[in-house]
């Protein structure tokens, strides 16, 4: 623990956890976070962002704050805005120099937070992303689509990591607060972050992953389509943000080429006597 003390003594940690209908997982989550950070030699806070839950999630979260103390902060949203918006709300309110994001379903394990935070500081990084190498999810419904998505995102964005979808990530607050998240874009954070820092300051680390034991998954086919739309947005932004005229120039050239071919066809048809009106 001495190395941990030296690494983090001048830091503070904010853990941002978006939750939606996770009433059964809130108290175990808070307990595990306390166990994981028991020997952390810096101040920390846990932000539970309730994304308009329809169950007792908000009530249980407030009960946890009353039990554990004011470093547990409950952020209720007026309605269900989605995981990305909830995560952004937590990041906006976070006060730590290091910001951790994770899911509230207990599949991410808080035990990995200290080593990830220590690596962020020791190696002077801006992001340490979790990699669920031994992922405890359905093979066909979750693992295969995730593998395809990771390959596609890495190819389109140029930021290659194994597990874009892992919510357990540790950021330097000064950098992540420069990024605004919309839609389903929380899964593309490493790519977005590469617009603010060098890709060499983005690393990944193998993390623990547990099967879900309570509550229900919030992922479905409709979310996959939204992710695809957001991926196209990320690709456009990363490739053309500094030179949008190139995109519209290529678009204009394409339409111009099609129009030119149509005009050439009509001209040839006219020369050979066709009635083109």
Q: What is the pLDDT of residues 160-192, one digit of tens each?
A: 889 888 999 999 999 999 998 877 777 788 888
CA atoms within 13 A on the CB side of 220: 3
19 with 116, same domain: the answer is yes
120 with 186, same domain: the answer is yes
Per the structure, the complete domain to which residue 265 belongs is given by 243-277
277 with 182, same domain: the answer is no
84 with 193, same domain: the answer is yes
pLDDT at 206: 96
User: How much is the average pLDDT of 39-44?
Assistant: 91
User: How much is the average pLDDT of 253-268?
Assistant: 80
Share of the chain above pLDDT 70, in %: 78
Give the residue, 271 or 24, on which the prediction is more confident: 24
190 with 252, same domain: the answer is no
pLDDT at 124: 95
Domain count across the chain: 2
Is residue 25 within 8 A of residue 107, CB to CB? The reply is no
96 with 225, same domain: the answer is yes
Q: Which pLDDT band, with edges at 50, 70 and 90, does 265 fall under?
A: confident
pLDDT, the chain, mean: 84
Give the residue, 137 or 259, on which the prediction is more confident: 259
Q: Which pLDDT band, with edges at 50, 70 and 90, does 94 fall under?
A: very high
106 with 18, same domain: the answer is yes
166 with 155, same domain: the answer is yes
72 with 177, same domain: the answer is yes
Share of the chain above pLDDT 90, in %: 51
pLDDT at 213: 76
230 with 254, same domain: the answer is no
Q: Which pLDDT band, with edges at 50, 70 and 90, does 243 fall under?
A: low
Is residue 171 within 8 A of residue 96, CB to CB? The reply is no
Closest by alpha carbon to 55, among 26, 104, 21, 17? 21
Cα angle 117, 121, 124; round to 5 = 130
Q: Which pLDDT band, with edges at 50, 70 and 90, does 152 fall under?
A: confident
Give the residue, 65 or 226, on which the prediction is more confident: 65
Q: Which pLDDT band, with edges at 50, 70 and 90, does 259 fall under?
A: confident
CATH code where residue 81 lies: 3.90.550.10
pLDDT of 251 > 70? The answer is no
pLDDT of 158 > 70? The answer is yes
pLDDT at 253: 76
264 with 183, same domain: the answer is no
Closest by alpha carbon to 81, among 90, 72, 73, 69? 90
User: How much is the average pLDDT of 40-60?
Assistant: 96
135 with 89, same domain: the answer is yes
Q: Which pLDDT band, with edges at 50, 70 and 90, does 201 fall under?
A: very high
pLDDT at 211: 83
CA atoms of 155 and 141, how far apart (whole Å): 22
Q: Which pLDDT band, with edges at 50, 70 and 90, does 6 fall under?
A: very low
């Amino acid at each position: 623990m001495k190395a941990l003390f030296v690494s983090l003594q001048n830091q503070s940690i904010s853990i941002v956890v978006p939750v939606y209908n996770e009433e059964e997982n809130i108290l175990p989550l808070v307990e595990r976070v306390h166990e994981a950070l028991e020997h952390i030699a810096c101040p920390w806070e846990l932000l539970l962002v309730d994304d308009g839950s329809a169950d007792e999630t908000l009530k249980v979260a407030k009960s946890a704050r009353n039990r554990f103390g004011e470093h547990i902060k409950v952020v209720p949203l007026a309605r269900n805005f989605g995981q990305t918006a909830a995560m952004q709300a937590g990041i906006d309110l976070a006060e730590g120099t290091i910001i951790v994001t994770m899911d509230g379903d207990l599949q991410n394990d808080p035990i990995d937070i200290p080593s990830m935070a220590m690596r962020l500081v020791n190696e002077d990084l801006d992001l340490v992303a979790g990699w669920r190498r031994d992922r405890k999810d359905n093979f066909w419904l979750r693992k295969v689509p995730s593998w395809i998505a990771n390959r596609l995102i890495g190819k389109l964005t140029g930021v290659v990591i194994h597990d874009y979808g892992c919510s357990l990530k540790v950021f330097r607050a000064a950098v992540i607060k420069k990024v605004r998240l919309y839609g389903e874009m929380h899964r593309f954070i490493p790519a977005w972050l590469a617009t603010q820092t060098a890709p060499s300051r983005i690393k990944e680390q193998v993390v623990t992953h547990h099967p879900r034991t309570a509550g229900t998954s919030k992922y479905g086919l409709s979310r996959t389509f939204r992710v695809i739309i957001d991926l196209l947005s990320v690709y456009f932004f990363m490739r053309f943000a500094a030179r949008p005229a190139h995109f519209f120039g290529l678009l204009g050239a394409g339409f111009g080429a099609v129009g030119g071919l149509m005009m050439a066809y009509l001209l040839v048809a006219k020369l050979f006597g066709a009635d083109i009106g």
